[in-house]
């Protein structure tokens, strides 16, 4: 009976209640009451200065229920086991994402809240964990990928990051008369498959958007200090074949196309 009376009072179904204390201006608040076929009653408060807020009540509930969006699915937590399974399946793209997430997780609470690692936080990653990540990459790439592989190539390039980027394929040669290189666009221009022409040390990727210190601190981590054999650098090999001494080669300038490059990666 009360329900029928309420519905008859609400005809037509939409009513508007406004604060009309000031007849010279538009109402500041507007209350819209709506009924539907399921006998639910909804109240919507409109304001000229803020978004509307909706609550819903039913005949069997005295407490309005806020309308909230569905929770988004969360990605799986990064673990060494997950990384191992992705690498074993040849899913290098996802393995690269998991590696990046692992570094953030292992670097500490500040890195987890921030969503990326400061170069000064690399020291908080244990040598055991970092070495385990590297071993998985090397194991599932026939020794072609991994941080220790990248460090060896970096040392061979005399720790010159531009030479290193070219060596591992993070930069591409432009089709111009003058020898020029540009940074690859992430992710489409990077190689996510193990092929014969995939550059050695191409993966995993390390974000250099804020500079190369993060990558340098990973290479200099105690995890990779043991068992590193020194190899002749590109400059020393060139100096030997041309009759120059090692000291003379140190003073040589970098080629013009390699000057003034700045890392611009977003991965």
Residues 6+ away with beta carbon under 8 Å from 13: 34, 35
Question: Which residues are paired to 41 by β-bridges?
Answer: 35, 57
In the chain the beta strands, taken as DSSP E runs, fall at 15-18, 29-35, 41-47, 53-57, 65-66, 171-173, 181-183
CATH domain 80-224 topology: Arc Repressor Mutant, subunit A (1.10.10)
Alpha carbons 60 and 64: distance in angstroms, whole number: 11
In the 8-state DSSP scheme, what is residue 229?
P
Closest CA to 167 of 231, 224, 222: 231
pTM of the model: 0.63
Closest CA to 204 of 151, 127, 247: 151
Structural contact between residues 130 and 221, judged by C-beta atoms closer than 8 angstroms: yes
Q: Is the peptide bond before 187 cis (omega within 30 degrees of 0)?
A: yes
Token reading at 88:
């074993």
pLDDT at 208: 83
Tens digits of pLDDT across the chain (267 residues): 555 554 554 444 444 434 444 445 555 555 555 555 555 555 455 555 555 545 445 555 555 555 555 445 677 889 999 999 999 999 999 999 999 999 999 999 999 999 999 999 999 999 999 999 999 999 999 999 999 999 999 999 999 999 999 999 999 999 988 989 999 999 999 999 999 999 999 999 998 877 899 999 999 999 999 654 445 555 544 444 444 444 444 444 555 544 444 555 555
């Amino acid at each position: 009976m009360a329900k029928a009376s309420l519905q008859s009072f609400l005809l037509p179904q939409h009513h508007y209640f406004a604060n009309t204390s000031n007849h010279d201006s538009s109402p500041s608040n507007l209350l819209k009451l709506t009924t539907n076929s399921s006998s639910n009653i909804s109240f919507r408060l409109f304001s000229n200065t803020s978004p509307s807020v909706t609550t819903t009540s039913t005949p069997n509930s005295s407490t309005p229920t806020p309308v909230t969006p569905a929770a988004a699915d969360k990605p799986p937590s990064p673990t060494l086991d997950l990384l191992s399974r992705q690498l074993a399946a040849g899913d290098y793209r996802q393995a690269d994402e998991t590696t990046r997430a692992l570094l953030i997780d292992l670097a500490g609470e500040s890195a987890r809240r921030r969503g990326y690692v400061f170069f000064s936080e690399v020291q908080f990653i244990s040598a055991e964990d970092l070495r385990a990540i590297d071993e998985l990459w090397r194991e599932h790439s026939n020794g072609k990928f991994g941080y220790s592989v990248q460090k060896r190539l970096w040392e061979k390039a005399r720790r010159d990051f531009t030479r290193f980027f070219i060596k591992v394929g993070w930069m591409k040669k432009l089709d111009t008369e003058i020898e020029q290189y540009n940074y690859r666009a992430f992710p489409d221009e990077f190689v996510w498959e193990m092929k014969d022409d995939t550059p050695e040390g191409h993966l995993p990727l390390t974000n250099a958007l804020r500079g190369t210190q993060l990558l340098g601190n990973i290479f200099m981590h105690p995890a990779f200090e043991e068992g590193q054999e020194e190899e002749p650098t590109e400059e020393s090999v060139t100096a030997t074949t041309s009759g120059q001494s090692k000291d003379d080669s140190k003073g040589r300038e970098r080629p013009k196309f390699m000057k003034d490059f700045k890392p611009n990666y977003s991965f």
